[in-house]
Amino acid sequence: MKIIDIINGKKPSLSFEVFPPKTSDKYDSVSSAIKEIARLNPSYMSVTYGAGGGTSEYTARIAQEVSSLGITSLAHLTCISSSCELVREQLSNLQALGIENILALRGDIPEGLNINNCDFHYSYELIDEIKKHGEFCIGGACYPECHPESESIEKDIEHLKIKVAHGCEFLTTQMFFDNNAFYQFVNRLEKAGINVPVVAGIMPITSPTQFERIVKLSGNALPKSFLNEVLRFENDPEAFRKAGIEFASKQAINLYENGFGAVHIYSMNKPEVARKIQNNLLDVIK
Ligand code: FAD
């Protein structure tokens, strides 16, 4: 099924993100986490693509596995580190595996890479290539708090408009912890004439280590409530985990209640976290 039809459907959507194994010896454990998450019957599951293309083979395999479990899959694909030839191979592979949905991304620029020598420079060029290849439903990334390389949010939104004009049918946001940042962002998109659906990406922070590794480095704005409700449990791992899940659930409930019907949870390969959040949302997504 095409993701755009799911998002535009009458029912609110709740999707989960997973990542493929880096090496073959980890395949089975990732596969069993995926099976557990699929049992929750999410609206769809998205499968990341390793930075620099390192886990490309497994992205397609895991996406196919998700589909074989009866869940719509969304395969991420990056282009900055790939030749045009490699991208075409990947697209043929995804097509052969029956994957219908691609999240078209540029990817982070690896240190030392001279982008003048690259076949692709921006995600919209990947979108062009995908569109030449076949009938995929294509999504793209967006950044409520601005992409770090962008000189301003206005410029970033101008570039988003180009991405959409090239065929990006829906956008998924980078994680955010303050829903007001999301609401302001969608207002800006509307004013800029960007009318494709925006899926809100929420990351549950379940440990102080994850907080240090992801949130501190990301530069995301943290509302006071995050400090009060989650960070105060810095020295109590179980309470921290519970509070992180509660915080993400509350964010999602607030989004649904304000009429945003598509929420994507970056629960990664943690079925228990996905299950708990889904349970917390049952009343608002039924
Ligand atoms: P682009 O849309 O190309 O934008 C990159 C920068 O270029 C922005 O600053 C933008 O303003 C600017 N720009 C865009 N178009 C133009 C233009 N026409 N002219 C001038 N400037 C322009 N990374 C992975 O490696 N694997 C993943 O699986 C993955 N999944 C992600 C999923 C989501 C939902 C998000 C939000 C990010 C994901 N990323 C992933 C990270 C992403 O690859 C990086 O954030 C990357 O730096 C930007 O990718 P993009 O597709 O947004 O790039």
Residue 123: inside a domain, yes or no? Answer: yes
Q: Which 3 state secondary structure label does DSSP give 14? A: strand
Please answer whether residues 12 and 146 qualify as being in contact, where contact means their C-beta atoms are separated by less than 8 angstroms: no
**Tokens 């029956």, residue located:** 98
Whether the pLDDT of residue 55 is over 70: the answer is no
Which three-class secondary structure state does DSSP give residue 212?
helix
Q: Is the CB of 57 under 6 A from ligand 1?
A: no
pTM: 0.97
Q: Is residue 286 part of a domain?
A: no
Residue 138 lies in a domain: yes
**Does ligand 1 lie within 6 Å of residue 48's CB atom?**
yes
For ligand 1, whether the C-beta of 218 sits within 6 Å is: no
Tokens of 139: 């999504």
Burial grade of 93 (CB within 10 A; 0-12, 13-18, 19 or more): middle
Task: Give the chain's domain count.
Answer: 1
> DSSP state, 177?
S
How confident is the model over 249-258, as a mean pLDDT? 98
Q: What residues are annotated to the active site?
A: 17
Examine residue 127 and state whether it is found in any structural domain, yes or no. yes
For residue 52, name the pLDDT band (cuts at 50, 70, 90).
low
pLDDT over 80 at 51, yes or no: no
CA 66 to centroid of ligand 1, rounded, Å: 25
* 211 part of a folded domain: yes
CATH number at residue 102: 3.20.20.220
What is the residue with the minimal CA distance to atom 47 of ligand 1?
108
Does the beta carbon of 156 sit less than 6 angstroms from any atom of ligand 1? yes
| Structural domain range at position 46 | 3-281
Asked if 239 contacts 245 with a C-beta cutoff of 8 angstroms, the reply is: no
pLDDT digits (tens, 9 = 90+) for 113-151: 999 999 999 999 999 999 999 899 999 999 999 999 999
- Whether residue 267 is contained in a domain is answered as yes
User: How close is the Cα of 104 to the center of ligand 1, in Å?
Assistant: 9
CA distance 29 to 65: 13
82 lines ligand 1 (CB under 6 A): no
**Inter-CA distances, 99 with 112, 138, 155, Å:** 33, 11, 33
Q: Rounded to the nearest whole angstrom, what is the distance from the C-alpha of residue 91 to the centroid of ligand 1? A: 19
Distance CA 157, CA 173 (A): 13
Domain membership of residue 238 (yes or no) is yes
Residue whose Cα lies nearest atom 20 of ligand 1: it is: 159
CB-side neighbour CA atoms (13 Å) of 239 = 9
| Residue 109 falls inside a structural domain | yes
8 A C-beta contact, residue 207 and residue 238 = no
